[in-house]
Amino acid sequence: MPLPYTPKNSVPLPPKGARVQTTACAYCVVACGYKVYSWPVGQEGGPRAEENAFGVNFPTTTLLPWISPNQHNIVQIDGQDHNVVVVPDFESQVVNRGGNHSIRGGTLALKLYNPNTPTRERLLYPQLRVNGSLQRIDWDTALEVMAAVSKHVIDAYGEAAWAMKTYSYEFFQNTYAITKLAYAAIKTPAFCEHDKPAQGNDTAGLDDSGLINFNPSYDDWGAADVLFVSGTDPYESKTIVFTEYMMKGPKLIMALPRRSTGVAFAEATGGLFLQLNPGSDTILHLAISRIILENNWQDQPFIDNWVASKWEIDAGMGRGTRNTPWQWRTTWGQFGADFAGYRDWLLNYAPAALESAVEITGVPAEKIRQAAEMLTGAGGERPKASFGFEKGNYWSNNYLNTASYAAMGLLCGAGNRPGQVIGRLGGHQRGMIAAASYPRDKSPEKLPGRRKIELDLDRWVEDGHVRFAWVIGTTWTGAMAASQELAARFRQQTVENPHQITSTDKDEIIATLLSRVDSGGMVLVNSDIYPVIPIGVEFADIVLPAAQWGEHEGARCNGERRLRYYAKIYDPPGEARPDWWAV
């Protein structure tokens, strides 16, 4: 049985001479700055300023450095037990200024491996499924088996039979190596990040509007007079952006299907809650935009200066690299419209009429009108309006929601000015840097003509085309377009195939897996930090233990494109290794 877990009610102070490192939070997109203090077990600092690494007298106020039990752990550094304390950087002048932090970040130390805490469940060694059960093997055997099966699959069935599903957030060092293997070496189109079924645009409507998802800075959100938030509650999921920037600045308009904590704040401070029916965002955006146009409240000088004319759209001006999906959509696909064309279309589009919008969205007419007035000033002094959205918007009706949202923002003069921006608020931090381009030319899927598109990897698996799959840091069967059918297909192609490993002899392992591949089955590898159900626990032939945050150096960007550095704090447990090393 697992040992009982008893939380601490005290914590040691770091002594003078403790090692001090910088890092950023492992969790949400904000990436607040933290400091890490580590020192050998058996040493301890004192309460006087000259006795501790903080240089302050204890007890102190909560506005000065202090440590809660949730911010302390005991880890291994160079094979020896060390105290480690992870606290917000009280000297920070950016992001989490003055050491502000979320409750998530306040528990970072608890995620570090300690066999006397719940982290004892970590994956520690490579494992191989033998006679239906996972057994420990060495790294060399695991990697040699993977290489042999991969070579056979690529030679016999082509690059598209070798698949990879991976994260896009866990540090540039890892994603560069991962894409160097998949894109540059193997050139497989059967590749997809964790949050989508195909390696296409996250927010195609925003892209087609000429906007980049993460252009806004956190200061932009705070500098706005009015902020329209769609599909997320930043207080709940991006806490410090909310408390440091949004709470101190703009009036908030929040479009969500449910009441939340951030909504309560918005309503209490002169903001507006648009409680819409799920999936009706497009009509809400169009109705607000139509009211703006009917009253001539749009920012016409901004539109005249920045919005493309019909000729510029047809010529592909600002539509992206030639011969790419975003150019096809806006030129060949005839998706683009100039301002005059958009205005004429919207004023004659019946579902965008107020009465129809009320029926479809469930939002009262007076609130839709009020939103249009707040965003534009209703003919008076124009406020600085900004627009921030997240997955509740673009995962429900991606193209229509994001295109209509961008158009609404552009009508209000937002896009590329301080305090007047349009962009994503973010989910995870931005850790993808590709070593090569996605090999679209290898994809078996295309639009009419020669226009190849990214392969729908979920459907590719369900159709039985994948013979080898490496899943890194994602559940896959429980994410995005996941379905019981997808999980059932994985099960059928792996553990229900008659060719199952019964020996730990490397040659016999390879022979068995090649027989499975040739019979139409799949070989599955899963890299993760904990056992994952079902992809690792039930289906995978090989399970690889990954090193996580704090166990190797890393770098990635936060939601305002600020590059953050993550120090190696302590030894990874067992034989866990960074994913770049395994690749």
In angstroms, the CA 14 to CA 36 distance is 10
Using 50, 70 and 90 to split pLDDT, how confident is the model at 334?
low
Q: Which domain holds residue 289?
A: 204-424
324 pLDDT higher than 70: no
- For 128, half-sphere exposure in the C-beta direction (CA atoms, 13 angstrom radius) is 25
- pLDDT on residue 545: 99
241 shares its domain with 101: no
Domain co-membership, 57 together with 161: no
State pLDDT tens for residues 347-390.
999 999 999 999 999 999 999 999 999 999 999 999 999 999 99
The pLDDT of residue 195 is 87
**CATH number for the domain harbouring residue 399:** 3.40.228.10
Distance (Å, rounded) from C-alpha 63 to C-alpha 93? 15
User: Phi and psi dihedrals of 225, rounded to 5?
Assistant: -85, -35
pLDDT at 329: 64
Do 244 and 366 have their domain in common?
yes
The pLDDT tens digits of the residues spanning 438-480 come to 999 999 998 777 778 899 999 999 999 999 999 999 999 887 6
pLDDT per residue over 25-60, tens digit each?
Answer: 999 999 999 999 999 999 999 999 999 999 999 888
**Quick one: 316 and 251 in the same domain?**
yes
Strand 385-389 and strand 416-417: pairing? Answer: unpaired
Provide the phi-psi class of 572: left if phi over 0, else alpha when psi is between -120 and 50, else beta.
beta
Domain boundary (424, 459, 477) is at 424
Is 2 a domain residue? no
| pLDDT tens profile 516-559 | 999 999 999 999 999 999 999 999 999 999 999 999 999 999 99
375 and 503 co-located in one domain: no
On whether both 93 and 222 belong to a single domain, the answer is no
Mean pLDDT computed over every residue of the chain: 93
Position 564 in a domain: no
Give yes or no: residues 66 and 135 share one domain.
no
Please give the tally of structural domains in the chain: 3
- Nearest to residue 123, comparing CAs of 464, 579, 482, 583? 579
Residue 567 lies in a domain: no
Q: Please tell me the predicted confidence (pLDDT) of residue 97.
A: 92
Verdict on whether the full-model pTM lies above 0.75: yes
* Lowest-pLDDT range of 136-140, 213-217, 478-482: 478-482
318 pLDDT band, cuts 50/70/90, is low
Residues 299, 344 share a domain? yes
Residue 569 lies in a domain: no
Q: Please check whether residues 189 and 211 belong to one and the same domain.
A: no
**225, 255: one domain:** yes
Q: How much is the pLDDT for 530?
A: 98
Q: Which of 121, 156, 175 is the last residue of a domain?
A: 121
Which residue among 95, 121, 147 closes a domain?
121
Residue 553 lies in a domain: no
**pLDDT more than 90, % of the chain:** 84
Tell me the pLDDT band of 1, cut-offs 50, 70 and 90. Answer: very low
Q: Cβ neighbours of residue 277 under 8 Å, at least 6 residues apart?
A: 257, 360, 361, 362
**Percentage above 70 pLDDT, the chain:** 94
Rounded CA-CA distance 184/424 in Å is 30
CATH of the domain at 516: 3.40.50.740
- Determine the distance from the C-alpha atom of residue 413 to the mean position of all C-alpha atoms in its chain, rounded to a whole number: 28
Residue 496 banded pLDDT, cuts 50, 70, 90:
very high
Q: Is the pLDDT of residue 336 over 90?
A: no
- DSSP class of residue 328 equals I
Q: Are residues 420 and 281 in the same domain?
A: yes
What are the C-alpha distances in Å from 158 to residues 148, 150, 153, 190, 332? 15, 10, 7, 11, 31
**Mean pLDDT computed over 434-440:** 95
According to DSSP, residue 12 is labeled P
Tokens of 121: 């469940």
Is 353 a domain residue?
yes
Question: Rounded to an integer, what distance in angstroms lies between the CA atom of residue 216 and that of residue 416?
Answer: 8
Per-position b or e across 135-156, b if 16+ CB within 10 A of its CB: eebeeebbbebbebbbebbbee
Are 190 and 213 in a shared domain?
no
459/197 Cα distance (integer angstroms): 8
Q: Which two tokens stand for residue 575?
A: 């034989």
Q: Does the residue 561 lie in any domain?
A: no
Which residues contact residue 185 at a Cβ distance below 8 angstroms, ignoring those fewer than 6 apart? none
Asked whether residue 497 is domain-assigned, the answer is yes
Confidence of residue 66 (pLDDT cuts 50, 70, 90): confident
Provide the pLDDT confidence category of residue 332 given band limits of 50, 70 and 90: low
What pLDDT is stored for residue 5 in this prediction?
61
Count of CB atoms situated within 10 Å of the CB of 61: 7
What average pLDDT score do residues 114-142 get? 98
Indicate whether 129 pLDDT > 90.
Answer: yes
pLDDT per position as a tens digit, 226-274: 999 999 999 999 999 999 999 988 999 999 999 999 999 999 999 999 9
Average pLDDT over residues 121-148: 98
CATH of the domain at 64: 2.60.40.4210
Omega before residue 534 within 30° of 0, cis:
yes
Query: Given this model, what pLDDT does residue 317 score?
Result: 61
